[in-house]
Amino acid sequence: MTTVDVPTLVAQAREGRPRAVARLISLVEGASPHLREVMAALAPLTGGAYVVGLTGSPGVGKSTSTSALVTAYRKAGKRVGVLAVDPSSPFSGGALLGDRVRMSDHASDPGVYIRSMATRGHLGGLAWAAPQAIRVLDAAGCDVILVETVGVGQSEVEIASQADTSVVLLAPGMGDGIQAAKAGILEIGDVYVVNKADRDGADATARELNHMLGLGESRGPEDWRPPIVKTVAARGQGIDELVEALEKHRAWMDEHGVLDGRRAARAAREVETIAITTLRGRLADLHGDARLDALAVRVAAGELDPYAAADALLDGLTEA
């Protein structure tokens, strides 16, 4: 095992050194022996970043929109982190490759940190790994973190919905309204984007969306009303309006004390996921464990019932 100097890595990440950030993310992704040390070091440095989730069906232009947002935030002097979550493959092919090329406009900018994450089957999966990577980017001093999910599956929606602000993207002529309803993303959007708004049907999509959102629970005067922003991300059109909508939502959350609650809820999910993953690991270690074997022999002999044996096993589990 190579020696890892966590305090130095964290200090370098704070200075904005990309390699230190990359190393830290690898450490937290890979369940390294230093994971806990890294997490403990990062904790006091977190909470400064504004986390924006972007979700939507393939082809709506998520990566293009993310890239356009990076440009806008960079113009405003912000440090930006991008976490692109692709659960389907360790290598991004096809459409994604194009996305990455577009994203590479920012590759040489030291104020932008971009990380792709392909984590299907990875320990606790996306729900486990994504929050850890966000913590690293947060502690490294990013002002804004854009979490782009490729699919519209349950775990992707979950990740996006755990952002401070969730952006749901649609595009005209894809029957997106119904798809969105099916995927459950009409419940999670704080801001809606109809991208490719120069195409036929953009107004119809926006109207349909407006109608569907209106069908939700009635809102009080203090409640947040999700705005619908029309963009042509590939040409940067509407991006300033999108940033404005995000900032409005952020200000509304601050004003109404919503942000702390959201972050506490996100932390609760995170802690719970880690606890479950930890327990699974401990249980997996029980295969071949002498204590389980001894209990099993007694159960097989009828001296002990399996529930009493499971209780005895669990009593020792937190000490594992």
Applying CB under 8 A, which residues contact a second copy?
Answer: 35-36, 39-40, 42-47, 131, 135, 260, 263-268, 270-272, 274-276, 278-279, 283, 286-287, 292-293, 295-297, 299-311, 313-315, 317-318
Least distance between a second copy and beta carbon 297 (Å): 5
Query: Which parts of the chain fold into alpha helices (H)?
Result: 6-14, 18-29, 35-42, 62-75, 95-103, 126-139, 154-161, 176-183, 202-214, 239-255, 258-285, 290-300, 306-315
Which lies closer to a second copy via its Cβ, residue 107 or residue 264? 264
Which lies closer to a second copy via its Cβ, residue 204 or residue 265? 265
Which lies closer to a second copy via its Cβ, residue 101 or residue 317? 317
Sheet holding 144-149, edge to edge: 112-117, 80-85, 144-149, 50-55, 165-170, 191-194, 228-230
Least distance between a second copy and beta carbon 287 (Å): 8
The whole-angstrom separation of Cα 127 and Cα 269 is 9
Least distance between a second copy and beta carbon 44 (Å): 5
Which lies closer to a second copy via its Cβ, residue 152 or residue 309? 309
Least distance between a second copy and beta carbon 5 (Å): 18
Least distance between a second copy and beta carbon 262 (Å): 9
3: number of Cβ within 10 Å = 5
The whole-angstrom separation of Cα 123 and Cα 203 is 43
Rg (CA), the chain: 22
Which amino acid is present at 87? P
Which lies closer to a second copy via its Cβ, residue 181 or residue 304? 304
